[in-house]
Amino acid sequence: MQITAAVAREKFAPFSIEQVELADPRPDELLVRIVASGMCQTDQHGRDGYFDIPFPAVFGHEGAGVVAAVGSGVTKFAPGDHVVMSFPWCGTCANCRRRMESHCENSRVLKMRGTRPDGSTLMRRNGAPVYSAFFQQSSFATYAIANERFAVKVRKDAPLELLGPFACSGQTGAGAVLNTMQPRPGDAFAVFGVGAVGLSGLMAAKIAGCDPIIAVDIHDQRLALARELGATHTVNHTGRGDVVAHIRKLTGIGVRYSLETSAVPAVFREAIEALMPAGTCVLLGSAPRGTEVSFEMPFLQFGRVVRGVSQGESHPQEFIPKLVDFLMQGRMPVDRLVKFYPLDEINQAAHDSSNGATIKPVLRMPH
């Protein structure tokens, strides 16, 4: 069928809104009418050539929409279902077999090659392939093909246009806290960087009962929002000599959990040094290959843990509906992070996201 998509024609080029041909769903696939899609830094990294996807390409991996048709073998979804499209995994590698789907060994190929696992593209234009299937979805479009394994059914009374970001930034931040850290009430928590991922982690820390909750960033307006969403203390990194000393003063001994989302090596080091003995630092910030960090080895001898986490170690079919419930209970007000743009203003959305003016752009699709 003919659909409208935001196409990246070449590296660094602005997105252009074009008509492309979308494949029919295979037996295990859904055709999803996209209502809205969040935009993540990873989409822009894709457009800027960080990954292996050839051009032209369609990005977008935080899609939410309504099932329009299902393949012949699909049994768990029906037309009319509301769905969020989550990240893909292979299901057969050693990590998938241990239910560590977010750390699937084939994750990069499935997310970032621009094709289905068998090499076929989902979209074409004038007979030529348009590389799509980004995260097996490519949601910057009016319709997408989603494999039923990675689609998540969500309750119909929830505002669908707000749910897309749960597929990536939401479950990345909240899952790092609720799935990986699993804090107890009263545990001290610090988050370094309060963009969409950091704020999702912060809201989760509040849900878990962490106290204090310390937010560190360089933008005063983001820190003000962090405070409204549950931070008990905020620290503007700019001009403050020693952030770690400040956190130690606030907590007495350091934090039980720290969440690093900035991807800045010096800040990562602070997130480690802010830990109390037996504390855990989770790294979410994604730095370019070759980035190195240093810290003192003896610091880890007191049971401190540093670990990298992807996609919040989430089992999306279980975790995303939980996040939607938190939203409906007013405990995860993602609407405070979101600014909506029509699809044809995608370049403005990318610009506002890069310079920090918008925390989480969400593109509304024309229908």
Give the footprint of Zn ion on this chain (CB under 5 A): 40, 42, 89-90, 93, 96, 104, 106, 168
The residue among 78 and 94 lying less far from Zn ion, judged by its C-beta, is 94
Residue labelled with tokens 């930034």? 169
CB of 135 to Zn ion, least distance (A): 8
Judge contact between 231 and 215, C-beta under 8 A.
yes
State the pairing for strand pair 29-38/143-147: antiparallel
6 to each of 37, 48, 146, how far by Cα in Å? 12, 15, 17
CB of 167 to Zn ion, least distance (A): 8
CB of 173 to Zn ion, least distance (A): 11
CB of 304 to Zn ion, least distance (A): 28
CB of 114 to Zn ion, least distance (A): 16
CB of 40 to Zn ion, least distance (A): 3
Beta partners for residue 259, in sequence order: 191, 282
The residue among 250 and 263 lying less far from Zn ion, judged by its C-beta, is 263
In whole angstroms, give the CA distance from residue 42 to residue 32: 22
Hey, is 358 helix, strand or coil?
coil
The residue among 89 and 131 lying less far from Zn ion, judged by its C-beta, is 89
CB of 171 to Zn ion, least distance (A): 10
CB of 311 to Zn ion, least distance (A): 9
CB of 105 to Zn ion, least distance (A): 5
The residue among 70 and 144 lying less far from Zn ion, judged by its C-beta, is 144
The residue among 42 and 262 lying less far from Zn ion, judged by its C-beta, is 42
Q: Which of 241, 245, 240 is nearest to 223 (CA)?
A: 240
State the pairing for strand pair 360-364/338-342: parallel
H-run or E-run covering 323: helix 316-328
In whole angstroms, give the CA distance from residue 147 to residue 288: 29
Residue labelled with tokens 């130690």? 248
The residue among 251 and 262 lying less far from Zn ion, judged by its C-beta, is 262
Query: Which residues 6+ apart lie within 8 Å of 52 measured at CB?
Result: 108, 112, 113, 114
The residue among 62 and 81 lying less far from Zn ion, judged by its C-beta, is 62
The residue among 97 and 156 lying less far from Zn ion, judged by its C-beta, is 97
The residue among 93 and 287 lying less far from Zn ion, judged by its C-beta, is 93
AA identity, residue 19 = Q
- Measured in degrees and rounded to the nearest 5, phi and psi for residue 12 equal 70, -10
Angle at 144 (CA atoms; ends 136, 109), nearest 5 degrees: 10
Query: Which residues 6+ apart lie within 8 Å of 298 measured at CB?
Result: none
Q: Which two tokens stand for residue 53?
A: 């996807």
